[in-house]
A and B are shown apart, each in its own frame.
Chain A
Amino acid sequence: GAVVSQHPSWVICKSGTSVKIECRSLDFQATTMFWYRQFPKQSLMLMATSNEGSKATYEQGVEKDKFLINHASLTLSTLTVTSAHPEDSSFYICSAGQGKGGYTFGSGTRLTVV
């Protein structure tokens, strides 16, 4: 079946530094990938839609200069949290579209900013 690998699974960084999270589709090509953020005991909130070869589409209220998304190939999308602050600490999850409405999710990245 379709597999999406997300790396790292957890990361701790200092305030002011940047963190990059990778999302790879291992056995299929994904022209569209999605990035979500999930705070404790809450739902997944869509941050942005990542499109291969073009600029990402950000949801309202998500700072595109803070959450940089790159989708340079059909199997890799990256999310970089720039100048991270403690309030950016969250669970970040990616998903890859398989066409016909199917989605496969990564295992998530727990980001803690100290």
Chain B
Amino acid sequence: GESVGLHLPTLSVQEGDNSIINCAYSNSASDYFIWYKQESGKGPQFIIDIRSNMDKRQGQRVTVLLNKTVKHLSLQIAATQPGDSAVYFCAENTDKLIFGTGTRLQVFP
């Protein structure tokens, strides 16, 4: 089946700490994964992507890890800032983009 979102877990971190957001996907055929950031009342914003032939990819302050064996993705944000507060979604792509549950990241001073 496809991942669906029924609730929104929350991760609270202190400013400057590292954040790790996890995501489980369901379709073994998915070969492309994307992390999005969504601020309130706005559309998703691309953060970083990874293809299934890789297990790690780094961007500016962000790293995505892919474990195909257990169908798990993680997004690591280094030195989390207040501006990082948002909801984060992973999405898996086959012929269409399906979103995971999402995690709300709250950054406190």
Contact = CB atoms under 8 A, between A and B. Distances in A.
* Size bracket of the B interface: 20 to 34
If over half of B's interface residues share one DSSP class (helix, strand or loop), that class is named, otherwise mixed; here it is loop
Contact of A103 (B4, B34, B42, B89): B34
A43 B4 contact: yes
Interface residues of A, number: 22
Interface in A13-48: 34, 36, 41-46
| Consensus secondary structure, chain A interface | strand
B100 A110 contact: no
Interface of B: 4-8, 32, 34, 36, 41-46, 49, 89, 93, 96-102
5 contacts: A34-B97, A43-B102, A95-B43, A101-B49, A101-B93
